[in-house]
Structure 1
C-alpha cells in the first residue's frame, strides 16, 4: 500500500524540504525572540574608575558578564564618551553617589521624568557619577546585533549562484538562487562565538 504513495512523495520532496526548513527556522526565530523579550537587563551603578581603569575581570564581575563582554562594554563606553554620554542630567541629591542610585532606580521604574535616551531599551545600561561635571552619566549599550541580512556567492559544480542569508542570533538560513528560482538552501547554527 505505501509503495503506491512513494512515487508521489518523491515528486514533491524538494518543496516538502523547503517548507519544513522554513517552518523550523520560523519556529526557532520565534522562540529566540520570545526568550530575548523575557530577559530584562537592569541598570548598574558603577564608578568611573571601575568603568575605565579597573582590571577587566573586576569590571566584568561588577556587571555580571564575561571578561570579553566587559571589554566590549568598556570599548563602547569609551567610544560614546568621544561624542558624549547617551544621557547626562542633573539629579537633586546630597551627593553624586545618591544621585546615581536615584537615577538607577528611576530607570528601573521607567520614570517618564528622565530623558528618553535614558529609558531606551538596550542590552546594558551603565550609570556613572561624573565628578568633573557634577552630573550623572547614563550609557546605553547594545552589543547584540540580533538580526543580520547577508549577501554573497555560492560556487557549486563550476556554477556561481547569488546567495541571500538571514541570521538571527546563532541561526542562519541561506537561499541559493538562479534567476528567480531557488537552487538550494542551507541552515547553519553558530557553535562558538568570540
Structure 2
C-alpha cells in the first residue's frame, strides 16, 4: 500500500515536530512554502504558531487560497492551534486577521487565545474518540490555545476539555478536537508529545481509510 503524501505548512511554528510525528505514522512527508508544493498531496497539516503572522506570510503567494482549492479538490487538512484558527469558518476576534485570507471550511466559530496567555499554558489528559487505544488518554499541550465557541451541523466532537476558556465558566466542557469530513482541527499541540495517535488518524483520513 502506498504511503499517503502529507505536507506540513512551513511558514512558522512546530514544523519539524509535525514532520517527525507524521513520518512515524507512516506518511511520506514534505514541507510546503508555496502553492506549487501542494501538488500531489493527500493531506496538509497547518501547525500552531501565530495565525496573523502565518496569514501575512502566505498572502503574497496566495497560499491560503491555494490550500482551500486543493481541499475542495479532495486534500485532507489538519489544523492545530493557530492552524485551527485558519481553518475556522468564523473567528470571534478577527480584527488582526482583517484583510488577509484564511483557509476556512471548518464550520466552527473560534476565539483566538481563548484559554489565556502564554502564562496560562497547561497540559490535560483527553479522551479522544476514534483513536487506537481509545481507553488511554491523549496528553494534550495547550499554549495560547483557541477556544471553539460554536459548532455547525456536521461537525463531530472528538474530544472536550474540562478547563474553562476565558469566555466560559468552570464546569463547562469545551470542544478541543473536531472533525468535519476531510477536515480535522485541534486547539492543542499534538506534535509536542510522543503520542502520535492523532497524527495516525489524520494519515488514515488523508489516505482515504
Q: TM-score, normalised by structure 1?
A: 0.25
Q: Which has the higher helix share?
A: 1
Name the structure, 1 or 2, with higher relative contact order (CA <8 Å, separation 6+): 2
Q: TM-score, normalised by structure 2?
A: 0.24
CA radius of gyration, larger in: 1
